[in-house]
Amino acid sequence: MATEKTQYDDFIVKGFIISALVWGVASMTFGVIIAFQLVYPQLNFELPWTSFGRLRPLHTNAAIFGFALSVIFATAYHTVQRLCRTRMWNDTLSKIHLALYNLSIVLAAITLPLGYSQSKEYAELEWPIDLLIVVWYVIFFANYLMTVIKRKEEQMYVAIWFYIASFVTVPLLFIVNNIVIPAGFLKSYSVYAGVFDANIQWWYGHNAVAFVLTTPFLGLMYYYLPKHIKQPIYSHRLSIIHFWSLIFIYIWAGPHHLLYSPIPEWLQTTGMVFSIMLWMPSWGGMLNGFLTLTQAKDKIKVDATLKMMLAAVTFYGMSTFEGPLLSIRAVSALGHNTDWIIGHVHSGTLGWVGFMSAAALYYLVPRLWNSNLYSEKLANAHFWLGTLGILLYIISMWVSGITEGSMWRAVGENGELVYKDWVEIVEFLKPFRLFRAIGGTLYLTGIILMVYNFIKTIQNKDSGFVEQDLRIGVKS
């Protein structure tokens, strides 16, 4: 009988794991730098390529499309082979994908600090890099789809459905939003204008969060959570309902980013209504995760990976409650463009995406390199540093954001603004933003501990991996 190592292509999974670790440390380091720049402006160093305006898109692109996408690709390659019981359709295409993908991230890291940008949220990269992305994405998706088509397992588990939904929708969003007229090698102009441009941008921007930072990580949860605890998902039926309702509703929620803007009021209302409807499928998935976790609740105290999965599902529930809440006009009037939105975004990215990514990596690294994790204590330290960092981050941003919105709106008895000087508000918010920077530093420290833990684990490769059975507490 062929062994799993010869049957499956795990080289490509390892490659994307290493990419995730590199871009994860880089993106979060830049995030900490720009967080401190907001408190201490002198850290901009009066250099254009080290300014907040240049480093902020570098941070978001490296975090979303460097770290998160690396995790998505690593887990997609790992899960599809095992759930379909077949090797990737073409190993060479996988390697080309890995190389061109990392080339595109490197080019982004060079061009963004130099100021080459389309100035569109989550879509800053100029047209030559966009074309490169299209090339490697087609290579990846053809390889992935052919692997599914030639599968030996007839039934497709729900995790694959979540991945496929992501991989079908992302190119649609990416291509429509990035149609431009080139005006030079690194300069272009969007074919859209005015409110139409804004609506296309936030249809893309919101659904980049939906189909990059949500649906593939739900696929990841539905595979690695039951695999880790060696128990089936609580409800397969609920997972199917979760899938179809989520992908139908999510795509229409983008206009809630444009409340009180010149786009038609009916469109704003549509975005708000669909956002509120998202509560149902999102919490259905959260409950499915929680109820699955209850089958191994006794082990949460001692298993860092399980703690991260629990925290991730918790933050998924929190952020998917907060998002629809912020889409309501009255709430948006207070929170829009304030630090509250920053706290909301990072509740999802650090709590849901970050912890679920870390849990998947803690699951994969020992198994792929055939070595027990170097230190469970370091993994637990990572969890607690990350949790404390997230809480400092989001609580400070909640307080800062609500304070900020209230100060913007404050009107005196004579009808004039109480705080006419914007800088006065900025100075008042400095302590909250300092706590945010400290929280981000704690989270980054946890990530660095994880990378060190993995380096030591990999150095001990092929020493033999012994899996702990979380159901009965004995080695299997």
Phi, psi torsion values for 181, nearest 5 degrees: -110, 110
3-state SS class at 336: coil
Q: Is 346 annotated as a binding residue?
A: yes
Q: How far is CA 29 from CA 406, 442, 447, 474, in A?
A: 31, 11, 10, 39
Q: How far apart are CA 9 and CA 17, in angstroms?
A: 14
Q: How far apart are CA 339 and CA 432, in angstroms?
A: 10
Helices then strands (H, E): number in the chain?
18, 4
Q: Is 256 annotated as a binding residue?
A: yes
Find out whether 219 and 159 touch, Cβ atoms under 8 Å. Answer: yes
Phi, psi torsion values for 326, nearest 5 degrees: -70, -15
Q: Give per-residue burial for 410-429: e unless 16+ CB within 10 Å, then b.
A: eeeeeeeeebeeeeebeeeb
Q: Is 336 annotated as a binding residue?
A: no
Q: Is 97 annotated as a binding residue?
A: no
Q: Give per-residue burial for 144-177: e unless 16+ CB within 10 Å, then b.
A: beebbeebeeeeebbbbbbbbbbbebbeebbeeb
Q: Is 236 annotated as a binding residue?
A: no
Q: Is 206 annotated as a binding residue?
A: yes
Structure tokens at 144: 């992935």
Residues recorded for the chain: 476
Other Cβ atoms closer than 10 A to 262: 9
Residue among 122, 72, 79 nearest 101 (CA): 72
Q: Which residues are annotated as a binding site?
A: 59, 206, 256-257, 344, 346
Q: Which residues are annotated as a binding site for heme b?
A: 59, 344, 346
Q: Which residues are annotated as a binding site for Cu cation?
A: 206, 256-257
